[in-house]
Amino acid sequence: MRIPTHLQNNAFRFIKVIGKRPVEENWTTTANYTFDKIEWDNNIGIATGYGDLIVIDLDKQIDTVLPATFTVKTSKGFHYYYICKSIGKLLLKRNNEHYGELQALGQMVVIPGSLHPSGIKYEISNDIPVKEIKKEEILEILKDYVNNVEITKVNEDMKILDELRDFGDKDIRKIKISDVLDFSKFKTLPNGELQGSNPWHGSTTGENFTYNPELNLCHCFRCNKGMNIAQVLAIKYGIIKNCGDKLTKEQFMNVLSIAKIAYQFVKNTEDIFFSANELMKKNLPEVEYIVDKLIPQGGITILGGAPGAFKSFLSLHLAMHGSLGRKMFDHLETKKIKVLYVDEENGERTLKNRLTQLVKGYDIKEPLDELFFSSMENFKLDMEEDRTFPILKRKILEYNPDLVIIDSAVRFLTGDENSSGDVKKLFDTIKPIVKEKNTTFLVLHHTRKTGTGGQNDLRGSGDFAASAESVLMLRKDDKEKGKFILTQEKLRHGEEHEALKFEVLEHSNGVRINLIGTIDMKSKQSTADKGAEEIVKWYDSLGYKEFTTIDAFEYLQSNFNMHKRQIYESINLLCNRGDIKNISKGRYQVVEEVQMDLNGLNL
């Protein structure tokens, strides 16, 4: 169907309709189209409110003459199209007789060329441009058909909506208040509004609060105040206290950040996509680090290690030093940061004992004002419907920490750590916070009981390592008791840090972590290289496409007297190089090398 010339306005939005009803559920927010994008073989509607479009929809002719504008003949009367700012829907009545409606934001009408269910076609009766008209002029024309109480309420509603427009962000209006507040126990009024008890301060009658789904506005009769979606979110997340309080620009931007993370509304496509030329012109800042070259700022770092490998203690050491602006290990440059340590592994008693040991060991006199904790609250990060999900996200947004430590990953999962889809849900929760607030997450995770110490030893799905900017692996030194080795197995935006060796020492009735220095991993790598070379020769000579760790052990131990750890290191090296891949526990598949025909390529 062709859109009439005078409706071909880029600010207008068109919707798919069957009969007189929209087909797509979210037509008021996202499921609508510009005139050149809509493709539909049935009826087409136009959403009023976009581009300040209003339509006076008359079933009976009124006495007052309406200003000439683009007009459509309907099955019973006429649609008069106007552009008018800051006016909402009005019912047109006189002496209890219904004449029609003024359709505004949240409404729609069917455009000419469509068929009414009765079979009558909507036709243009006055093919002239849509007239722009002032609200005062419209209200004067319709004053005999609208009562003053309704005009007052519409003016108040439009004032609240205009406050959203003044902040210049349309995305937040895509969130329905009904997605934020529970109206399941509210009753439906004849005008379509929902009525019940105020969600915050309650009601003696149970009827002091209404919600208008069409305008996406609430009204509290006790406070005699209306509220838009931004104000509702601001009350829910403690940014304002009272119904109808006005938001400052700073408060609104805070609400907007919360909304983008908590409700993850879809941006306009022009905000998502950019050209190669635009990418090349972007002035992107250099990568900064919370801890020099180990933990990138505004990203996700995984710290892996076996149970008892000192992960939590080391993370607490980092949290304390970062909150004070001290160097980690008294050696590595560390930013002064605010830290939120979310503990689901140890409990308050263990946290206090360890922190006390560190405070005494380092003779800390300053207050730890920038270090915060939660402990054993059963928080989950992969399940939006879980009661703890919005609480944790809200607290992260309220505290606005530079670093959030998650101890440990499996405790924040309701799903299976071996499932790529379940692990992805956890990181899909974290990533919007990283992007919006430039927050850094340090996620502690356990390793398998046997392994080489590399990132492939991380327990569960490969998505743990794949989702991180940096992967750190911590293990006890096999040869020296009380000493530990920290390696960086992955750094997305740079060269991996040298392996660090440190020891834990008693000091002044407390504990210190002493950096011994960096260690040379090359000799260890040469042993792994030799083992990897022999494994490749072995499976190539036998034509194996798959093998198990048991097969590799038997061959390498009997022929080369290699130790278990060396064999694991060799298998890990082959996985990292992409020569083999882990297809199930203890089972590997040989990756076929693909030969490319390079003839004719100008390289």
Given a cut of 70, whether residue 171 has pLDDT beyond it is no
Give pTM, 2 decimals.
0.55
Residues paired with 512 in a beta bridge = 505
pLDDT tens digits, one per residue of 140-149 = 899 899 876 5
| pLDDT, mean of residues 326-349 | 93
Given a cut of 90, whether residue 602 has pLDDT beyond it is no
- Run of H or E residues at 559: helix 549-560
Range of weakest confidence among 63-77, 304-318, 360-374, 454-468: 454-468
> At 595, is the pLDDT very low, low, confident or very high (cuts 50, 70, 90)?
very low
Range of weakest confidence among 7-11, 224-228, 592-596: 592-596
Residues of the chain with pLDDT > 90, as a percent, come to 42
Q: How far apart are CA 319 and CA 341, in angstroms?
A: 8
Q: How many other β-carbons are positioned within 10 Å of the β-carbon of residue 509?
A: 9
Note the pLDDT of residue 534: 87
154-269 matches 289-519 in fold: no
Q: How far apart are CA 259 and CA 252, in angstroms?
A: 10
Residues paired with 302 in a beta bridge = 443, 471
Given a cut of 50, whether residue 415 has pLDDT beyond it is yes
Q: How far apart are CA 415 and CA 97, in angstroms?
A: 59
Residues of the chain with pLDDT > 70, as a percent, come to 89
Structure tokens at 14: 């068109």
Note the pLDDT of residue 423: 92
Q: Reply yes or no: is the peptide bond before residue 312 cis, omega within 30 of 0.
A: no
pLDDT tens digits, one per residue of 275-298 = 899 889 888 888 999 999 899 999
| pLDDT, mean of residues 131-146 | 91
| pLDDT, mean of residues 455-465 | 88
Collapse the DSSP code of 144 into the 3-class scheme (helix H, G, I; strand E, B; otherwise coil) and give the result.
helix
Degrees to nearest 5, angle at CA 233 with 229 and 237: 175
CATH 3.90.550 fits 5-146, yes or no: no
Given a cut of 90, whether residue 241 has pLDDT beyond it is no
Given a cut of 60, whether residue 127 has pLDDT beyond it is yes
Q: Which of 2.60.40.1260, 3.40.50.300, 3.40.50.720, 3.40.30.10 would CATH assign to domain 289-519?
A: 3.40.50.300
pLDDT tens digits, one per residue of 25-54 = 778 777 899 999 999 989 999 999 889 999
| pLDDT, mean of residues 333-355 | 95
Instruction: Say which CATH topology domain 154-269 has.
Output: DNA Primase; Chain A (3.90.580)
Given a cut of 90, whether residue 15 has pLDDT beyond it is yes
Note the pLDDT of residue 148: 64
Tell me the domain boundaries of the chain. Answer: 5-146, 154-269, 289-519, 523-590
HEC string for 53-122 = EEEEEECCCCCCCCCCCCEEECCCCEEEEEECCCCCCEEEEECCEEEEEEECCCCEEECCCCECCCCCEC
> At 125, is the pLDDT very low, low, confident or very high (cuts 50, 70, 90)?
very high
Distances (CA, A) of 394 to 129, 236, 272, 344: 48, 10, 25, 18
Q: What is the torsion angle, in degrees rounded to the nearest 10, for the CA atoms of residue 130, residue 133, residue 137 and residue 139?
A: 70
Range of weakest confidence among 199-203, 286-290, 567-571, 574-578: 574-578
Q: Which of 3.10.310.30, 1.10.10.10, 1.10.340.30, 1.20.120.1200 would CATH assign to domain 523-590?
A: 1.10.10.10
Phi, psi of 427, deg, nearest 5: -75, -25
What value does the mean pLDDT of the chain take?
85
DSSP character at residue 396: H
| Burial (0-12, 13-18, 19+ Cβ within 10 Å), 93 | middle
Better-scored residue on pLDDT, 214 or 27: 27
